[in-house]
Structure 1
Amino acid sequence: MRRARRGKIFGATAATLLIAGCNRHQSALAPFGAEAEQVRHLTLVLVIGAVVILVALAGLWLAAVRAPEGRLSHKGGMRLVLVLGALVPTLVLFALLLYALPMMRPRPVAPADLRITVTGEQFWWRVAYQPPGAEPVTAANEVRIPVGRTVAFQLKASDVIHSFWIPGLAGKMDMIPGRTNELVVRADAPGRYRGACTEFCGLSHARMAFDVVAMEPAAFDRWLALQRRPAGAPADMRGQALFADNGCAGCHAIRGTGALGTIGPDLTHFGSRLRVAAGTLPMETEAIARFIRKPDEAKPGARMPAFPHLPPDDARQIAAYLQGLQ
């Protein structure tokens, strides 16, 4: 019974791991970037090498078990240990090092390449696009990159250590307060993917994600041009008035209006984003309204002040206004 139970637990665990590995939106084994493809390739090479060594050791063990007593002398045994225990591993590791070194070189960055500054906050992402020869474009909680072009991420943190990771694009990179780390990447396939913080940064660490959209270059250029524009006039002015009356402009900026706050995310084109609260909630009026009134319910430890006194209808009006910011 115990063996059967252990077998079931092992089978369930293995199946869970295999199912988790099938997620193409957040998987290092489903790369859409050149750097992640190199990591996957090197991983496969190392796994194959490890399997070959394991099979060789198993064969040696079988030969030793089945060999008649006295067949191997002390001198022969020492020679075997020297060759298989020192010489062969050294040569194998040196060969793997030589094979991997070219993949460790960072991608060169040209002055004409796009730079994106991403700053980790508790618990959201401040994003600034810096195309060459133009003013930065500020956004939040979503990263868009052009396919086939080199992009240099400038990674920072304002409060605690975070870690920036887009599994299918490149490896992880820490975000450390007072320091700027650079991660240079190139996306090779368009699509929508998912990134995450992989360094424990507080209560809502597990809810600090972001959408990654790899776009064709022409589509990306059009999108960036639209993001540069100020917010359009709302169809219903009540939501905008409630936004201002409740002090939201003290923390958030909406270009083209009187909202100039820099503490929280820039909301100029909030409605064009895919999700709310750093990948936590859907872009829906009710979800936005709930987050406005009680942000701590969706993101424990969030620094955004709660507005439980705000009437639900007013919260929905503000949410509709924000959704209209395309």
Structure 2
Amino acid sequence: MAYPVPTDWTVSGTLNKNGVPFSEGKVYADNLNNGEFEQIAESGISADGSFTLTYSRGNFQNGDESLEFPTIRIRVEDYQGNNLWTSNTYREPSSALKVGAFDILKSPDQNGDCRIFGTVKNEQGNILANIKIIAYCLHFVDTSVDGEAPSGYFEKIILGETFSGSDGKYERRYSSSLLPVGLLLDSKEDYGKNKVSLYAETYEEKDGKYYHKSTEHLVFNGKTEQEINFTLKSQQESFECEYAKLDSMLRVYRNTVDSWCTAPVNNTKKINAINAFLNSNTVFPLVAGRERVVESKVLAYFRAYSMLLQLQNRYPDDYGSLELETENSWFEIFFALALREGVSTLYKLTKVKP
């Protein structure tokens, strides 16, 4: 969540009991504050089992304005105040979080018509127990309007979290209602912009705190039953240059990465944003998957843009006099060098053999 932190926050979902809508009670949102859960919102339940909880940033910040998001859980009680069901916790939620459908007769890990599962191992192949896994859906929201410049943003949706067992295996069920409308699971086609993209991250506990350990590469065209194992993957290689075609497909993402920069925007910030994009195991492969482009070409395209910005920084006076066609020529040259020779900086360019 980027600053400024939204003022108003909501959590919505649906409750049922053995498949029948549940409405005989109340639902609450609790925020984790200094190791203790504190209630920050409550709501009744509609006849169809749906609910919406509303709270403000002040409810979870509790005077600490550096907090960008809450750590919440959903709790269901009957009218007598007896606890009927409690969810797992949600970290980094959207300010309009949709938690899907829950059956209050099932544990949080058993709820949902979809699941992500797999095994966690170390580099020696040994299983790792008690590792926290958080599962996500990532997609690109296209906000382009006909006749205007391409625009959009990346949205990450938390599907849930769980822990690996003594055998290194984990499983996390989630409701398909959490997924953006229009995206497909179990598609027979390998590519396209309407596919669900899934990935997961692991966190290791040390001294009472959880630290990020690894992010598994994004799975484009996700399945209802999706296996994600935490292993290294090799990068696909390609040496075919299709700059013009790539630019028409990837420029919207290039503009999106530029928009990550905080004001005042300059070339150095843009270069850093490109590096963050290329080092991401999530948004980077999502772009390749949505546009049916091998990752090596996407990598070369963004490296070329980075070198173009480096050239602007190195020779600002000379570069300012270049025509657009000349700029595109530099871009094409840098793309070819990045794709064929792996060049990513002007310094490395000086080391390339003739």
TM-score > 0.5, shorter chain as reference: no
Normalized per residue, the structure richer in helix is 1
User: What TM-score do the two structures reach when normalised by structure 1?
Assistant: 0.29
Larger Rg, first or second structure (1 or 2) = 1
User: What TM-score do the two structures reach when normalised by structure 2?
Assistant: 0.27
Higher RCO (C-alpha under 8 Å, 6+ residues apart): 1
Normalized per residue, the structure richer in strand is 2
